[in-house]
Structure 1
Amino acid sequence: MGMSVTISGATEQDAEQILKLQYLCYQSEAELSGDYGIEPLTQPLDSLRAELADGTVLVARLGQEVVASVRGTVDPDGTARINKLIVHPRMQRHGIGARLLRAAEAALVGERGAKRIQLHTGQRGGGNLRLYRSVGYETVGTSKGDDGVTVIVLEKPAETYATTA
């Protein structure tokens, strides 16, 4: 590739690139579920800008291009929720998703005081499940989203993030 991928906090200037990447990355999930009205494909730019202002949003860059992103928040009870971990299809299987996930965990625990970390994935997300389990997540149940789609809920205690980093 010639360049290394760097991870940093997302800025307002990254919003459009993140949204375009999100749209690209969620096409396969929409196809699997037969639902192109899922939130990642319909999220407006203003909503993403609000997430940039209020939550933890990280990006991975190859040069100036945003090639991956992840978002997270921490609830008042100390539960961090990681979502929308996306990696450009041409950059997948190079460890970028795992690096980005670990960076998000570190930020949510270290900067926002999370006590446990949760995320979810579609029931057909075999590659996603392998990634999450490889960094210490365990299935704790299932949940139905507002759109009626059932997802697998995974969790790990916050103190374990460093041991899997």
Structure 2
Amino acid sequence: MGMSVTISAASAQDAEQILKLQYLCYQNEAELYGDYTIEPLTQTLDDLRAELDRGHALVARLGDEVVASVRGSVDAAGTARIAKLIVHPRLRRHGLGGRLLDAIEARFADDPAAQRFQLFTGHRNEGNLRLYRSRGYAPVATEETGARLRLVTLEKQAGAGAYAASA
């Protein structure tokens, strides 16, 4: 990539940058499905802060700029739910999304409650589907959420193909 991107835990001070990046990153998704009311585009700063308090969040920084992020939490059933993996459009296709996914998996690998990893994406998002499959995720469910959108849920067992990130 030619630049030094570092991955670390997100802090409360990162919330505003994460929200702005999220808004930028989900424009393509909204356009793909013709729906600009999707939750990532309507989430408030207060909602994001509460989400960060409830789970784990990582950010990738290029200098002081947050250029990528991912969030997740473990539920009572032992599912580590990974969400909102976002990478700034100018840094896509350089492996940063994969590094972040590996890093959040590594974070949950230390949690004995986490038995499986689960995430979802829209059925038309071939880039996301390709990334998740390359990391060992397999589709386990599809949910119709509107006239144009089906969410594909993918899952893999904790420890199955997960490896420590070089973050």
* Residue identity in the other structure for 1:114: A
What's 1:55 paired with? 55
| Contact 2:118-2:156 within 8 A present in 1 as well | yes
Matches within 5 A, 1:76-87: 76-87=76-87
Bigger helix share: 1
When residues 153 and 164 of structure 1 are mapped into structure 2, their CA distance, relative to the original with a 3 A threshold, is farther
| Contact 2:123-2:149 within 8 A present in 1 as well | no
| Contact 1:136-1:164 within 8 A present in 2 as well | no
Matches within 5 A, 1:14-163: 14-111=14-111, 113-145=113-145, 149-163=149-163
Q: Tell me the distance in 2 between the aligned counterparts of 1:82 and 1:112.
A: 16
Q: Percent identity?
A: 65
| Post-superposition offset of 1:106 | 1.1
Q: Tell me the distance in 1 between the aligned counterparts of 2:101 and 2:109.
A: 12
Q: Which moved more, 1:85-94 or 1:142-151?
A: 142-151
Q: Tell me the distance in 1 between the aligned counterparts of 2:133 and 2:113.
A: 23
Residue-pair matches, total: 165
When residues 68 and 147 of structure 1 are mapped into structure 2, their CA distance, relative to the original with a 3 A threshold, is farther
When residues 107 and 164 of structure 1 are mapped into structure 2, their CA distance, relative to the original with a 3 A threshold, is closer
Q: Please give the TM-score of this superposition, normalised by the length of structure 2.
A: 0.92
| Post-superposition offset of 1:147 | 9.6
Deviations along 1:101-155, whole A, 9 cap, x unmatched? 0111111231363100110110111111111011111111212448983211100
Q: Tell me the distance in 2 between the aligned counterparts of 1:148 and 1:55.
A: 30
Report the aligned-residue RMSD: 1.9
| Contact 2:33-2:148 within 8 A present in 1 as well | no
Structure 2 stretches lacking a partner, 5+ long: none
Q: Tell me the distance in 2 between the aligned counterparts of 1:79 and 1:6.
A: 27
Q: Please give the TM-score of this superposition, normalised by the length of structure 1.
A: 0.93
* Residue identity in the other structure for 1:75: D
